[in-house]
Amino acid sequence: MFYLSTRDSSLKMNSMDVIKQGISREGGLFVPERIPRLTRSDMKEMEAMDYRQRAFKVLSLFLTDYSESDLQSIVEAAYRSDNFETPEIAPIIGLDNDLFVQELWHGPTYAFKDMALQILPHLMTTAALRTGDDKEIVILVATSGDTGKAALEGFRDVNGTRIIVFYPHGGVSPIQKLQMVTQEGSNVHVAALEGNFDDTQTGVKTIFTDRDFIDSLEKQGKRFSSANSINWGRLVPQIVYYVSAYIDLVKNKALKDGEEFNVVVPTGNFGNILAAYYAKNMGIPIGKLICASNSNNVLTDFINTGIYDSRRDFYRTISPSMDILISSNLERLLFELCDREHQQIEKWMGNLKESGKYVLDDQSLIKLQANLWGGFASEEETLKAIRETYHDYNYVMDPHTAVGKWVYDEYRKETKDTRKTMLVSTASPFKFPEDVLRAILGQQDIKDQDEFQVLETLASLSKMEIPIGLKDLKDKPILHHIKCSRNEMAYAVNKLLGLEG
């Protein structure tokens, strides 16, 4: 299987190089030359498999240049039982007969990013080893909150790698921030950036495509790579849990064999929902992909009108990992919608860069709407969804998942589509305890509690245990203090890598 770029369809690279490199030289994203299919008998066979075996099956269809034995050990190492709290890895909870929640937050940092970031370092270092590449891999990450911590955990002390994470100062939750600035490991760096997530992401992308910077790094025996969801090595492990969910739902008789179901995905950078799109195109009978946004509802408008317009107010919300106005992975979907015309992608992305906006042609819009439905939840609606879900089902959701729940209800009301639905739950409620408690108890009840008291309160209310890695934060020293502006990012990277002057 070869990979091409969304901005250069003549490119032909194998998956090891694609994963090592992260983003294509001309700025496009890597995509597989075709999407492999799972047959009905493949799916039947997978019923008897555990999550690791299913992951192996899906990965081996996309990553054909990795040897079977390498992929086996990679999957084993990533989804170890001491890394994930539950043997199912991605358990599914039925709220009622129609709505299922797939919990993707049982990994070491309690958000769904672990599903991919526990495996990406193994994919990358194996690729480097097998291609005889002895350059040190420097991972640059822009995070809206959860990717940073998950990437730090995934890459910490991994030989031959270094990781630098930039997060928007004031743009992440207190727990998310603490998780990052207390990160231990001999090869990890964390810096706050004055700006929002889009500034952070744009800054990192600029460094990635700066030829001079890349050359000077190579002279020092280093090369950049990306752990953001623009890296194909992040996306392909995410396809696994959609495949696995369908297999589980059929196995448990919640779905009939071949029965279509919808998925709801709380969306920011469009990586998670894109993985669902790929699963659908592999043959998993997914009906609508319901794209749930918060007040930064650029995607809702886009799906409804075909106009992507990022020139709008940016809001800091209680679902910070979705506070994004430029959804990078959308480019991969657009590539499929316009029949893989890379000139068309260059035009749209050029317009986005120059004027903050682009407009789909009618043909592509029809295809977009055939696959996706978009909705959003305001801050009040998000809180209401947390409260109502708690009262109706005795189930506690984090604010990102709650955005999805709100949009699911809207979708059912508006379309009368009664197909069964799976909502992906992207974070543990313990990552956002103040907002979750504010939703359920009201502001008054928690106003005098600090970060750690609210964890205790949430534990007794939800009858769940505080995740150990969050409880421990209280006693961890702060190890990372750097703060910089957009203009200082390249300088900061140089300095952290010891390449000054």
Q: Which residues are catalytic?
A: 113
Pick 321 or 382: Cβ nearer ligand PLP: 321
Closest approach of ligand PLP to the CB of residue 225, in Å: 18
Angle formed at CA 142 by CA 333 and CA 326, multiple of 5 degrees: 40
Cβ pair 152, 165 in contact under 8 A? yes
- Return d(Cα 109, Cα 155) in angstroms, integer: 13
CB of 436 to ligand PLP, least distance (A): 13
Binding footprint of ligand PLP on the chain (CB under 6 A): 111, 113, 146, 229, 266-272, 321-322, 400, 426-427
b/e code 361-382 from CB counts within 10 Å (16+ = b): eeebbebbeebbbbbbbebebb
Q: What is the rounded CA–CA span in Å between residue 57 and residue 283?
A: 14
355 and 385 in contact (C-beta within 8 Å)? no
Report the nearest approach of ligand PLP to the CB of residue 220 (Å).
Answer: 32
Nearest partner of 289 among 270, 273, 310, 272, judged by Cα:
273
Q: Where are the alpha helices (DSSP H) in 312-450?
A: 330-337, 342-355, 362-371, 379-393, 399-415, 433-441
The single residue listed with the structure tokens 């969910």 is 245
CB 371 within 8 A of CB 265: no
- Which of helix, strand or coil describes residue 221? coil
Identity of the residue, 125 or 329, whose beta carbon is nearer to ligand PLP in the bound complex: 329
Quote the strand ranges of 62-98, DSSP E.
92-94
Residue with smaller CB distance to ligand PLP, 269 or 295? 269
User: What is the DSSP code string of 471-488?
Assistant: HGGGGPPP---EEE-GGG
Nearer to ligand PLP, 21 or 321 (CB): 321
| Rounded Cα gap, residues 223 and 262, in angstroms | 41
Give me the count of residues in the chain: 501
Nearer to ligand PLP, 187 or 319 (CB): 319
Taking the complex as a whole, the smallest distance from the CB of residue 403 to ligand PLP amounts, in Å, to 8
Closest distance to ligand PLP from the beta carbon of 454 (Å):
18
Q: How far is the CB of 120 from ligand PLP (least distance, A)?
A: 14
Residue 10: both structure tokens together: 């003549």
User: Minimal distance in Å, beta carbon 491 to ligand PLP?
Assistant: 28
- Residue 228's nearest CA partner among 264, 203, 253 is 203
Q: Which is nearer to ligand PLP, 195 or 271 (CB)?
A: 271
Ordered DSSP codes for 236-266 = HHHHHHHHHHHHHHHHTTSS-TT--EEEEEE
Is the CB of residue 293 less than 8 Å from the CB of residue 410?
A: no
Which region holds residue 270: left if phi is over 0, alpha if psi is between -120 and 50, else beta? Answer: left
CB of 109 to ligand PLP, least distance (A): 9
The DSSP bridge pattern shows strands 161-168 and 188-193 to be parallel
Name beta bridge partners: 483. 192
Minimum CB distance to ligand PLP smaller for 164 or for 318: 318
Task: Judge contact between 264 and 102, C-beta under 8 A.
Answer: no
Write down the least CB distance from residue 28 to ligand PLP, Å: 19
By beta-carbon proximity to ligand PLP, the closer residue of 187 and 293 is 293
- Nearer to ligand PLP by Cβ, of 421 and 428: the residue is 428
Structure-block tokens of residue 130: 């097998």
